[in-house]
């Protein structure tokens, strides 16, 4: 083999080696107000749905990105790269000012008022006042049409700070409790069916009738 060919082969393999061993790029450093509203968040898994807040005259929907869904554990909290989106809806009111209730007793969703985003990653939130540090979490707020809202992000920090032991996520316990409940239901179905074979679509129907 000619030395020049040998050299270029060596160069190529070195290039390949560098490409394989290089660490992934660090996430862009971001602070409050800079986290964009993810365009596809409505396709994300639900964190919790139809949160009833008669005190605030609101109904809320919370979505979590697949990173948070996959990596979140009650023991360790949520991994870097997690993002939550919360839609705040006005609760519909009766003419006398009391809040409307549906046949299920729940508040009725009216207009979307605002959309809140909360995300964490390496190096995020380093410009926050130390007294308001929320780990690596940062906050953004949007109007119903997706424009940046003028809401103060310091108020987000102040109100999420008390749940620091729950990774700054207010309904942490409620969420992980619902995760356990569905695992328990799957066991129930297996016990009911007196089998350990993998679940089929028929079993899933049975699962739903048990859980109602
Ligand atoms: C008065 C306290 C308070 C303030 C202020 C506040 N939050 Fe929250 N936030 C909550 C509570 C409580 C929940 C759980 C849902 C519920 O009960 O309404 C929540 C939930 C969330 C969630 C869903 C994920 C999670 O952590 O549970 C996001 C996202 C969020 N807030 C973002 C924001 C942003 C952005 C701001 C500021 C613009 C903000 N919050 C201001 C209390 C607050």
Atom of ligand 1 at shortest distance to CA of 169?
A: 26
**pLDDT at site 212:** 36
Q: Is the CB of 189 under 6 A from ligand 1?
A: no
Helix spans in 131-200 (H)? 153-160, 172-192
Residues 183 and 166 in one domain: no
Average pLDDT on 128-139 reads 97
> How remote is the C-alpha of 112 from its chain's centroid?
19
- Answer for the pair 96, 121: CB distance below 8 angstroms, yes or no: no
Is 44 contained in some domain?
Answer: yes
Overall number of domains in the chain: 2
Q: Is the CB of 35 under 6 A from ligand 1?
A: no
Cα(156) to centroid(ligand 1), Å: 7
**pLDDT at site 41:** 98
Residue with CA closest to ligand 1 atom 19: 170
Residues 144 and 73 in one domain: yes
Residue range of the domain that includes 186: 171-212
Residue 1 structure tokens:
């083999």
Q: Is the CB of 51 under 6 A from ligand 1?
A: yes
pTM: 0.80
Is 62 contained in some domain?
Answer: yes
Is 6 contained in some domain?
Answer: no
For residues 92 and 70, give the distance between their C-alpha atoms in angstroms, rounded to a whole number: 34
Residue with CA closest to ligand 1 atom 12: 170
Beta strands in the chain (DSSP E): 46-53, 58-64, 83-91, 109-120, 137-142
Residues 40 and 139 in one domain: yes
Residue at token pair 């909360």? 118
Q: Per mean pLDDT, which range of 1-10, 73-82, 118-127 is the poorest?
A: 1-10
- Answer for the pair 202, 192: CB distance below 8 angstroms, yes or no: no
For residues 69 and 45, give the distance between their C-alpha atoms in angstroms, rounded to a whole number: 7
Average pLDDT on 61-73 reads 98
* pLDDT range class, residue 188, cuts 50, 70, 90: low
Is 14 contained in some domain?
Answer: no
Average pLDDT on 77-81 reads 98
For residues 13 and 7, give the distance between their C-alpha atoms in angstroms, rounded to a whole number: 10
Residues 53 and 119 in one domain: yes
Q: Per mean pLDDT, which range of 16-20, 35-39, 188-192 is the poorest?
A: 16-20
pLDDT at residue 118 is higher than 70:
yes
Strand partners, 86: 62, 116
- Answer for the pair 125, 138: CB distance below 8 angstroms, yes or no: yes
Q: Which of 59, 138, 170 to probe ligand 1 with, by most ligand atoms within 8 A of CB?
A: 170
How much of the chain, in percent, has pLDDT values that exceed 90? 69
- Residue-wise pLDDT for 189-205, tens only, equals 566 666 666 666 666 55
Q: Per mean pLDDT, which range of 27-31, 82-86, 110-114, 206-210 is the poorest?
A: 206-210
For residues 102 and 59, give the distance between their C-alpha atoms in angstroms, rounded to a whole number: 13
For residues 136 and 69, give the distance between their C-alpha atoms in angstroms, rounded to a whole number: 18
Q: Which of 160, 162, 172 to probe ligand 1 with, by most ligand atoms within 8 A of CB?
A: 160
pLDDT at residue 185 is higher than 80:
no
Residues 159 and 178 in one domain: no
What is the average pLDDT value for the chain, to the nearest integer?
Answer: 86
Instruction: Taking the CA atoms of 175, 173, 88 and 115 in sequence, report the sign of the dihedral they define.
Output: negative
Residues 102 and 186 in one domain: no
**pLDDT at site 3:** 52
How much of the chain, in percent, has pLDDT values that exceed 70? 74
pLDDT at residue 143 is higher than 90:
yes
For residues 20 and 151, give the distance between their C-alpha atoms in angstroms, rounded to a whole number: 44
Residues 146 and 162 in one domain: yes
Residues 136 and 191 in one domain: no
- Answer for the pair 50, 58: CB distance below 8 angstroms, yes or no: no
pLDDT at residue 184 is higher than 60:
no
For residues 166 and 62, give the distance between their C-alpha atoms in angstroms, rounded to a whole number: 16
Angular region, 33: left φ>0, alpha ψ -120 to 50, beta rest: left
Q: Is the CB of 64 under 6 A from ligand 1?
A: no
């Amino acid at each position: 083999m000619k030395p020049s060919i040998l050299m270029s082969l060596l160069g190529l393999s070195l290039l390949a080696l560098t490409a394989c061993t290089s660490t992934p790029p660090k996430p862009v450093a971001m602070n409050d107000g800079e986290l964009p509203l993810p365009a596809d968040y409505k396709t994300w898994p639900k964190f919790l749905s139809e949160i009833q807040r008669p005190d605030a005259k609101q109904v809320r929907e919370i979505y979590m990105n697949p990173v948070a869904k996959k990596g979140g554990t009650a023991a360790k909290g949520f991994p870097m790269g997690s993002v939550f989106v919360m839609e705040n809806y006005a609760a519909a009111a009766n003419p006398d000012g009391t809040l409307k209730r549906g046949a299920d007793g729940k508040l009725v969703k009216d207009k979307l008022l605002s959309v809140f985003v909360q995300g964490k990653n390496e190096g995020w939130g380093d410009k926050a006042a130390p007294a308001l540090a929320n780990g690596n979490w940062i906050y953004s707020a949007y109007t119903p049409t997706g424009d940046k809202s003028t809401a103060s992000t310091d108020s987000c920090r102040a109100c999420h700070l008390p749940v620091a032991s729950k990774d700054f996520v207010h309904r942490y316990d409620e969420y992980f409790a619902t995760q356990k409940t569905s695992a328990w239901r799957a066991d129930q179905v297996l016990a009911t069916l007196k089998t350990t074979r993998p679940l089929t679509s028929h079993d899933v129907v049975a699962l739903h009738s048990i859980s109602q």
